[in-house]
Amino acid sequence: MSAQTITPAPAAVQHASASPLRPGFGRTMRHSFALAGRNVTKFFKTPVVFVDVVLTPIIFLLMFVYLFGGAISGGDSHAYLQSIAPGIMVMTVFQASVAIGTALNADAGTGMFDRFRSMPIARSSPLIGAVLADVVRYVVCLGTLIALALVMGYRITTDPLSTVAAMGLLLAFGFSFSWLSVYIGMLAKTPGTVQGLMTVVILPMTFASNVAVKAETMPGWLQAWSDVNPVSLMADTMRGLLNGGEVAGPLLGSVCWMAGVIAVFFPLAMRAYRKNAG
């Protein structure tokens, strides 16, 4: 009676099947950009997603300049336009970040995350790809706002390099605060809840800032908040880069806020996403 020989599977194969290797940074970013391209294509196939980022800057700029500008500036609407246009750029990009959390929350309810789990991609790629794709919405928002501001009489008084730097910083600002929206989107039960919670965060930060009025006109406690508010700091940075003036101080504060928001909410969003994805 012959003995049957059983050849054990190589240890490396057993280990690989039991614990798949995690994609490295390079592969993760390739997956993320591929999914971002997919999302951008979907954006342009359904252009209704751009309605809010087109209408919001138009409404805000017209409302502040023509309804409130005369009273706030003492009748000099042009000077007020020069001051508020960079601030409105910051405010509208900041508010546009709400949509990413709402959209991802809706995807969670459709089983989209289960489909991503079955694909051989990095677990973080769907979130990173969605946030990268959302930058296209910020570009549309800024393009609309700048075009309208120029028609209304706003003029950039600095050099082209400063203008490009200002636009890049605004996109980075929207990208960083998107992770706060993503985190809330992963925790909330419904898309409506995401919008409600983000509104609670956004309103105190946008309207208790120096976007529309000078901080010196506020009560002392509110002025103290406005001086460290990321929206105020970024608005001052934009005014310095586009209109001329101090840049270094507000820029440093803005960069610290952006780095801090990403450092806190990126890992929180990823952990919440992994729980949602099972």
For the chain, the domains span 26-276
Size (the chain), residues: 278
Q: Looking at residue 22, what DSSP letter applies?
A: P
Secondary structure percentages of the chain, helix, strand, coil, to 5: 80, 0, 20
Closest CA to 93 of 60, 139, 129: 139
Beta-strand (E) ranges in 200-264? none
pLDDT higher for 165 or 204?
Answer: 165
End-to-end Cα, the chain, rounded Å? 51
Q: Over the stretch 207-255, which tens digit does the pLDDT of each residue have? A: 889 998 888 888 999 999 999 999 999 999 999 999 998 999 999 999 9
Q: What is the pLDDT of residue 52?
A: 80
How many C-beta atoms surround the C-beta of residue 33 within 10 A? 15
Rounded to two decimals, the pTM is 0.84
Average pLDDT on 102-120 reads 76
Please list, residue by residue across 145-168, b when 16 or more beta carbons sit within 10 angstroms of its beta carbon and e when fewer do: bbebbeeeebebebeeebeebbbe
Confidence of residue 13 (pLDDT cuts 50, 70, 90): very low
Confidence of residue 51 (pLDDT cuts 50, 70, 90): confident
Q: What is the pLDDT of residue 19?
A: 37
Round to whole Å and give the CA distance between 146 and 92: 12
Does residue 252 contact residue 262 with C-beta atoms inside 8 Å?
no
